[in-house]
Amino acid sequence: MKFSDYRLADTIKTNIAKLGYKKPTDIQFKSIPPILKGEDVLVIAQTGTGKTAAFAIPILHKLHEYKASKRSYGVSCLIMAPTHELAIQIESVFNSLAKHTKVVTLSVHGGVDQEPQIKQLNKGVDVVIATPGRMFDLVSQGALDLKRIETLILDEADHMLDLGFIKDIRDLMWHLPRRRQTLFFSATINDEIKKLAYSLVTNAIRIQISPKDPVAKNIEHSVAHIEMDDKRFFLESVVKNNIDKKILVFVRTKVRAERVKKAMERVNIETDTIHSDRLQEEREQTMRHFRKGDLKILIATDISARGIDIPNVELVINYDLPESSEHYIHRVGRTGRGDNKGQAISFSSIEEKDMLQEIEENLGKPIARLEITKADYQYTKLDTEEKVNDWQSIVNDIQQDELIYKKGKKKKKKKKKKKNI
């Protein structure tokens, strides 16, 4: 079936064609019809499967048809997103698909002045894409009225739970009409997510696009055993062997992101970082440069990059292993989007042995090993442009890394103890 076969407004069909979409992905094929009918939908699907368009297309069609026959009376669709970057990205997709319609979309999030957002809300908005903090600020000030919401969409619901937004989601229900359409999207599913989902939806159509391997089949992913102190040498080597590729590097903390950036600067490799300590304006500018290809290497933390659809990322490097298999799936899912092929490489040190084992157990199979001979390992360490007079700063970095990992292990032990209580 092609998009041209769907009963959608001609304007939206034209916008879909201009974006180069001909046939719907599996998630779009299964989600669009029930959403058009007004049914609640619970979707579990990998990243990179086209889920934003899966809900944007039918919602925009319904709003376009409604506005053609009646006057708009306020916000009728609310989309909850866990991060600023994801909210902005969803807004971009809606705006692309809504060209030449009268549907107005606005993303509201922290990190920027709220006055322009309030002004736009006063002018009239149909779709609001919000992060929890800014949304509740605007509701408490009377700037955002949620009493006429007809459709609620929770995107990246598993990540919202990871960030501790479950209370915010439950509090949100007090501000919404009981009779509404609810669409729940998550990349992973566990008992907590399932419990939350079924408390929000009514007689939902469940759609699960989850092959046996949770990592998309067009992503080649592997792991190499590299000691913590040596990771910067191997990152330098991988980057220099993939000089024209767009590379996304994941680290565990914002402090670590800045240190890896400095290590790359010492060997004349241009990078930039995205994490919560940077100003929103800086983050947006960095993302624009990376999307355009002006910046080839981006160093990111999980919170900042989760759910971001960056075109043509050819290589993902897990400089640090993530703390869970869910984060691993999301990280490697930044490459190989849609029909594109992608590659992901993870650096695993002896300190991360338990993390690797846990990730593989949850994935249900081992990750392919990237074997490095002793000779090649030593050659990579020696073949570096690291300046000798920077050794003191390097030693300081190494000591800081060790402290971070010790703290991380303590946190994990505390979490496990809490679970056992």
Residue pLDDT tens, the chain, 421 long: 789 888 999 999 999 999 888 899 889 999 999 999 999 999 988 766 788 999 999 999 999 988 766 655 689 999 999 888 889 889 999 999 999 998 999 999 988 899 999 999 999 999 999 999 999 999 999 999 999 999 999 998 888 887 788 888 888 988 999 899 999 998 777 788 888 888 888 899 999 876 556 677 888 999 999 999 999 999 999 999 999 999 999 999 989 999 999 999 999 999 999 988 888 888 889 988 998 889 999 999 987 656 567 778 999 999 999 988 878 888 888 888 767 889 999 999 999 999 999 999 888 889 999 999 999 999 998 888 765 445 555 556 655 655 655 555 555 555 444 443 3
DSSP assignment of 307-346: T---TT--EEEESS--SSHHHHHHHHTTSS-TT--EEEEE
CB 156 within 8 Å of CB 306: yes
Closest residue by Cα to residue 135 from 147, 117, 120: 117
CB 76 within 8 Å of CB 150: yes
Indicate if the alpha-carbon torsion angle 186, 191, 196, 201 is positive or negative. positive
Q: Which residues contact 132 (CB under 8 A, 6 or more apart)?
A: 80, 160, 165, 168, 169, 172
Q: Which CATH class is domain 3-209?
A: alpha beta
Q: Which residues contact 367 (CB under 8 A, 6 or more apart)?
A: 221, 222, 223, 346, 356, 359, 360
Break the chain into its structural domains and give their ranges.
Answer: 3-209, 219-416
Q: Six-digit token pair at 162? A: 């990871």
Q: Which residues contact 402 (CB under 8 A, 6 or more apart)?
A: 228
Backbone dihedral region of 268: left (phi > 0), alpha (psi from -120 to 50 degrees) or beta?
Answer: left
How is residue 367 annotated by DSSP?
P
CB 272 within 8 Å of CB 298: yes
What H or E segment, with its residue span, contains residue 347?
Answer: strand 342-348
Long-range contacts of 291-294 (CB under 8 A, 24+ apart): 293/246
CATH of domain 219-416: 3.40.50.300
Other C-beta atoms lying within 10 Å of the C-beta of residue 233 = 21
Distance between CA atoms of 119 and 264, rounded to whole angstroms?
43
